[in-house]
């Protein structure tokens, strides 16, 4: 059964809220599935963007799959645009490469606008594995824009570098990247109009 989280973080945190967040993060880090679920529910109301890194760190541990799913769902329900910056910092951080696909999954489920990061998703698709490329395709397909011309140009450069690289290419990932290239071309045409 899917849980729906209504996460509405504030950017500024009060001292009392900071203490509550600290306690909830301690509960989450116990690894106990019941405590994790309860803490995530309370973070819906009391959380802020500082909880994103500890949650990503927890995804890299041996917690039960149910808890991992709940964390990914929680991250996917973020509604504050400031969360996009922090999520992208996590995704680009090499420390989180083992869970990058899970973080990408949470993004395409999110209501936060990630259009500003279109070039970053193209770069990840070009450099990552097949599943990461597939997640990036899904994210890009769900973007509504508007897109900045410089980000579209940067995305096109990542695709050009991928094509011109002589390294052997995985045919499945190459197909995904060709679909991304078509989307980027369409977005570029939309900017020119």
Give residue 171's Cα distance to chain centre. 25
pLDDT tens, residue by residue, 52-76 = 999 999 899 888 888 889 999 888 8
pLDDT tens, residue by residue, 65-117 = 888 899 998 888 888 888 899 999 999 999 999 999 999 999 987 888 899 99
- Classified as helix, coil or strand, 143 is coil
The answer, yes or no, to whether residue 8 has pLDDT greater than 70, is no
Residue 80's pLDDT is what? 81
The answer, yes or no, to whether residue 3 has pLDDT greater than 80, is no
The answer, yes or no, to whether residue 9 has pLDDT greater than 70, is no
Residue 119's pLDDT is what? 97
Place of tokens 């990036």: 136
Residue 193's pLDDT is what? 53
Dihedral of CA 95/99/100/106: which sign? Answer: negative
Residue 13's pLDDT is what? 55
Euclidean distance between CA atoms 146 and 173, whole angstroms: 27
Record the tokens describing residue 37, joined without a space: 């679920």
């Amino acid at each position: 059964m899917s849980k729906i989280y209504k996460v509405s973080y504030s950017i500024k945190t009060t001292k009392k809220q900071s203490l509550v967040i600290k306690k909830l993060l301690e509960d989450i880090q116990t690894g106990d599935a019941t405590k994790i679920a309860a803490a995530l529910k309370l973070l819906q109301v009391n959380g802020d963007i500082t909880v994103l890194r500890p949650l990503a760190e927890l995804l890299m541990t041996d917690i039960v799959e149910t808890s991992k799913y709940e964390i990914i769902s929680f991250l996917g329900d973020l509604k504050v645009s400031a969360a996009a910056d922090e999520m992208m910092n996590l995704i680009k951080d090499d420390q989180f490469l083992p869970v990058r696909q899970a973080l990408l999954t949470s993004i395409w489920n999110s209501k936060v606008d990630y259009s500003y990061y279109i070039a970053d998703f193209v770069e990840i698709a070009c450099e990552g594995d097949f599943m990461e490329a597939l997640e990036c395709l899904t994210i890009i397909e769900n973007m509504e824009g508007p897109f900045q011309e410089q980000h579209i140009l940067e995305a096109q450069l990542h695709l050009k570098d991928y094509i011109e690289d002589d390294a052997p290419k995985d045919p499945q990932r190459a197909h995904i990247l060709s679909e991304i290239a078509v989307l980027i071309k369409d977005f570029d045409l939309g900017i020119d109009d």
